[in-house]
């Protein structure tokens, strides 16, 4: 059993909006995307969403987030074959291509939607040549 003060402390930890969790990533990304409602500023928006959770991404282009996240032990790369395998809060980093020299980054919100600098259907990887 927990004493009342221990329960309160435990509950506060479970519902801390600054704790790095998939749910907090998804919630922050949605809030930022809904407030931003732009196009072409995906990296700035996702960086803004992740910063309060203790994730600092640097660089000028979205594709530059891939090595930063791969080198952060709090994140694991996923190999997926379809959108159905994504989970709410997964961060998707799209590679750069001739048509998209900066790549793209977004957070999966569920229901085939992603948040970046706006809310949209999940971007198909074919336009970018792949994603991590």
Task: State residue 15's pLDDT score.
Answer: 52
The residue that leads in pLDDT, 8 or 28, is 28
Cβ–Cβ < 8 Å for 57, 107: no
Task: State residue 73's pLDDT score.
Answer: 94
Q: What are phi and psi of 40, to 5 degrees?
A: 100, 0
pLDDT at 104 exceeding the cut of 90: yes
pLDDT tens by residue, 42-62: 999 999 999 999 999 999 999
Residue with token string 């990887």: 125
Residue with token string 């750069």: 96
Structure tokens at 20: 């790095």
Distance, in Å, from the CA atom of 94 to the CA atom of 97, rounded to the nearest integer, reads 9
pLDDT at 11 exceeding the cut of 70: no
Distance, in Å, from the CA atom of 6 to the CA atom of 76, rounded to the nearest integer, reads 32
pLDDT tens by residue, 72-84: 999 999 888 888 9
pLDDT at 2 exceeding the cut of 70: no
pLDDT tens by residue, 17-34: 789 999 999 999 999 999
pLDDT at 13 exceeding the cut of 70: no
pLDDT at 124 exceeding the cut of 70: yes
Q: Taking the CA atoms of 52, 54, 58 and 60 in sequence, report the sign of the dihedral they define.
A: negative
Burial class (CB in 10 A: 0-12, 13-18, 19+), 113: middle
Residue 49's nearest CA partner among 117, 121, 112 is 117
């Amino acid at each position: 059993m927990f004493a009342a003060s221990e329960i309160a402390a435990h509950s506060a930890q479970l519902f801390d909006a600054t704790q790095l969790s998939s749910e907090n990533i998804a919630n922050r990304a949605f809030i930022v995307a809904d407030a931003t409602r732009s196009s072409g500023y995906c990296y700035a928006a996702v960086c803004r969403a992740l910063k309060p959770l203790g994730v600092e991404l640097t660089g000028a282009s979205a594709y530059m987030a891939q090595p930063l996240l791969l080198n952060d032990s709090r994140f694991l790369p996923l190999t997926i074959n379809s959108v159905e395998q994504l989970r709410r809060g997964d961060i998707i980093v799209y590679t750069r291509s001739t048509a998209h020299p900066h790549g793209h980054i977004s957070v999966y919100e569920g229901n085939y939607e992603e948040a970046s600098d706006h809310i949209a259907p999940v971007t198909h990887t074919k336009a970018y040549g792949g994603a991590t």
